[in-house]
Structure 1
Amino acid sequence: MSFNLANIHVADLTGMVVTTGNRAIGSGSFADVWKGIYYAQPGHNYTVAVKILRPWLLSDMRLARKTIRKILREAKVWSTLNHPNVARFIGVCYQEGMGGNRIPRLVSVFYEGRTLKENLAHIHGDHQRLKLLRQFFSGLAYLHRKKVIHGDLKPANILLDNSFNAVLTDFGLSRVLEASGFTTSNIKAVGTLRYMARELMNPTYPTITAPLPTVQSDIWSAGMTGLEILSGTMPYADKNGDAELIYCIGRGEIPNWSLYRRVSSGTWSMLTACWANDGMRPAISELIRYLDNNYPGLQ
């Protein structure tokens, strides 16, 4: 069933959220994340994460309007999601900007455990890694059932809650299938090259705009993310620089198993299925079924 994002309204928290500390706790390409306090009502204050756009994106009026539309679109997509393995969105607070623009800041639950990327080196048990992988897959399966494409899956976009459970975050590159109310296009591919599906950087049918992420490209990225979760080593660990990555991925190369010997042969086969040609990759439900059949007790 299709739905109209233009009709989705998010909670306005203007005047109820303040940032704390003197530096961001996380950074992305276009925004920084700060710790903050949400004053929900007298006597009820909550620690939150506040996503704040980089100032340079707001220095030009045209760019500012485009960026504001983009982050509000992210807020609307995120506000429709409710799952234990997806970070919980709370609302938007606005700041006055240049030319009378109201600059939105996205407010979400604060996760003390920080990102999975930051924690991987400290996780020594294979069972714990498999459990986190299962939780990551569960969150992605929920998104795909909701027809939401994440578009930038990687360990840095997975947070850990207070119980050390994995939760997906950062929906800045997400899109919704069968949704109306907005358009999405980019001149060049966006995402993180080391985790990006080959068809996004080397499309079969080149066009003026870059190809959009799909369920199948999410599966490719899920496989690369899973590889790093299980091994603690980033994909294509022997490749340095964007040019080398683009060249080898465009040629159809996948990571070298000899660099990831912590990954068993069966699980390696599951991951390599994610890196098959576009249209031949398994659904996320199949990946979950493999884990449940071969490693019971992860749920």
Structure 2
Amino acid sequence: MYGQNIHGRSGDFALILTGLHQDLPYTVLFRMIDTENNATFLARGAAADVWRVYDPPLHLSSGQVTPYVSKVLRISPRDFDGNGSGGSEDSETSEDETNEVATWDSFVKVYREKVSEWTGLRHSNLVRVYSHEEDLNLHIEFCQNGCVRDYLMTHDGKQVDKMSIISDILVGLEYLHTHDRPIIHGNINAGKIFVDADGKARIGEFGLAALCYSVAPFTSAITFAGFSRWMSPELLDVDPDDDNPIVLTTFSDIWALGCTIFEIVAEKLPYFEYVHDLKIQRAILKGEHPGVRGSIVGDGIYAHRLWPVIESCWSMDPGGRPSIRSILTHLSIGSSLFGSGSVPGPEVRRITPQDSPYSNQDQPS
């Protein structure tokens, strides 16, 4: 079991978000933690800062001691000051609120419920989320080979078993999407897929983006700049005057999955010919695909087997995209790629392979 609670100095992280240190600048607090050598800063994400924690280590029930990563959300009660923050932990939002996490207390309540759900997930292709006694930090398994994007860069991409990585991603996403209560990842890309010591790919940060989207309108600390490359058209085709949060779905996950598979086999970002978010968003809404078949490194089996799948994920109509199970079925039946066994489950819609690649005229300009 991996439900061991975390105790010790990592509690310092929680102080940042519980309001006890609201008078201190956010960056000063982290310098205090860093100079104590308890943690090393790894990255700044859309909604959280990522730290590798050394002290205290995580003691598992098996007796194993393991490092872990702490994601510290850049959200505090001050972000909700104009939205009815305060009250008891069990308080409910008023009937006229369109956002279920429009107050600090309701956000904390929903966040804790989500973390409780995530800690119960067990799958070899998911990064484990550890339970703990703190308020808003997310403690997760440390994967020493980093994210897939960095893994491909630090290892010769041509020598990496990309098919194994893609297979791991598909199986992990199937677990999320077919859960009793389907779990939407919300931000699938090669930077959110991690590689463990054994070379196995594990999906991380599942569900976190969906929750953070709901509070993004209330705080400037959360930014999704740079993530347009993996966003489906329906997430961008919204009324700017509509205050309702963006609704992420399994359909938007599948679009991002296609972008991620392309990113792995092409070793290029989706819409790599564009630099600025605005141009990327315009290209998406115009119906331009995130990439072309000719960009796939080595072409060959990657293009032959995977391009039809990738292209089907990029249907402008969300309902026209395949389910994760239909993708697995398409790639596994009669294929030497992922084995000859079929994926169990009900009858699913098949993908129709399209053999003709894009022409040069179809490339983004």
| Displacement of 1:38 | 1.8
Structure 2 counterpart of 1:5: none
One-letter identity of the residue aligned with 1:15: G
1:180-213 deviation per Cα after TM superposition (whole angstroms, max 9, x unaligned): xxx9576599852100111011149984314311
- Please say if 1:51 is aligned against 2:74: no
| Displacement of 1:71 | 4.2
- Please say if 1:274 is aligned against 2:310: no
Higher normalized strand content (fraction of residues): 1
110-119 or 166-175: bigger deviation: 166-175
Let me know the Cα RMSD of the aligned residues: 3.3
| Displacement of 1:151 | 0.7
Structure 2 counterpart of 1:160: 195
Structure 2 CA distance, aligned partners of 1:21 and 1:120? 29
Structure 2 CA distance, aligned partners of 1:280 and 1:204? 23
Cα 1:256–1:49 shift into 2, 3 Å: closer
| Displacement of 1:93 | 4.0
Structure 2 counterpart of 1:244: 279
- Please say if 1:62 is aligned against 2:80: yes
| Displacement of 1:282 | 0.5
1:33-182 equivalences in 2 (<5 Å): 33-36=50-53, 37-39=57-59, 45-54=65-74, 57-58=75-76, 60=78, 62=80, 65=104, 68-69=108-109, 71-94=111-134, 103-121=135-153, 122-125=155-158, 128-146=161-179, 147-171=182-206, 172-174=208-210
Structure 1 CA distance, aligned partners of 2:240 and 2:334? 39
| Displacement of 1:170 | 0.8
| Displacement of 1:267 | 1.8
One-letter identity of the residue aligned with 1:271: I
One-letter identity of the residue aligned with 1:270: V
One-letter identity of the residue aligned with 1:148: I
Cα 1:132–1:198 shift into 2, 3 Å: same
| Displacement of 1:131 | 1.2
Q: Secondary structure at the match of 2:161?
A: helix
1:94-128 deviation per Cα after TM superposition (whole angstroms, max 9, x unaligned): 2xxxxxxxx43222221111111111222434771
TM-score (norm 2): 0.65
1:133-185 deviation per Cα after TM superposition (whole angstroms, max 9, x unaligned): 1110110000001111111101111111111111011131247xxxxxxx957
Structure 2 CA distance, aligned partners of 1:126 and 1:298? 18
The ranges of structure 1 where at least 4 consecutive aligned residues each deviate by more than 6 angstroms after the TM superposition are: none
One-letter identity of the residue aligned with 1:33: V
* Contact 2:262–2:296 (CA under 8 A) maintained in structure 1: no
One-letter identity of the residue aligned with 1:13: I
- Please say if 1:288 is aligned against 2:305: no
One-letter identity of the residue aligned with 2:139: V
- Please say if 1:31 is aligned against 2:71: no
1:41-78 deviation per Cα after TM superposition (whole angstroms, max 9, x unaligned): 8x763311122233xx3372736936645643441331
One-letter identity of the residue aligned with 1:90: Y
* Contact 1:198–1:249 (CA under 8 A) maintained in structure 2: yes
Identity of counterpart residues, as a percentage? 22
| Displacement of 1:86 | 0.5
Structure 2 CA distance, aligned partners of 1:12 and 1:250? 45
* Contact 2:305–2:331 (CA under 8 A) maintained in structure 1: no
* Contact 2:228–2:280 (CA under 8 A) maintained in structure 1: yes
Q: Secondary structure at the match of 1:220?
A: helix
Structure 2 counterpart of 1:261: 296
Q: Which structure is higher in RCO with an 8 Å CA cutoff and minimum separation 6?
A: 1
Q: Secondary structure at the match of 1:60?
A: helix
Q: Which has the larger radius of gyration?
A: 2
* Contact 1:187–1:209 (CA under 8 A) maintained in structure 2: no
* Contact 2:194–2:203 (CA under 8 A) maintained in structure 1: yes
* Contact 2:168–2:200 (CA under 8 A) maintained in structure 1: yes
1:9-57 deviation per Cα after TM superposition (whole angstroms, max 9, x unaligned): x86534375785553123312212222212458x763311122233xx3
Structure 2 CA distance, aligned partners of 1:279 and 1:45? 45
Q: Secondary structure at the match of 2:268?
A: coil
Structure 2 CA distance, aligned partners of 1:137 and 1:238? 27
Cα 1:61–1:226 shift into 2, 3 Å: closer
Structure 2 unaligned residues grouped into runs of 5+: 12-32, 86-103, 340-365
* Contact 2:293–2:307 (CA under 8 A) maintained in structure 1: no
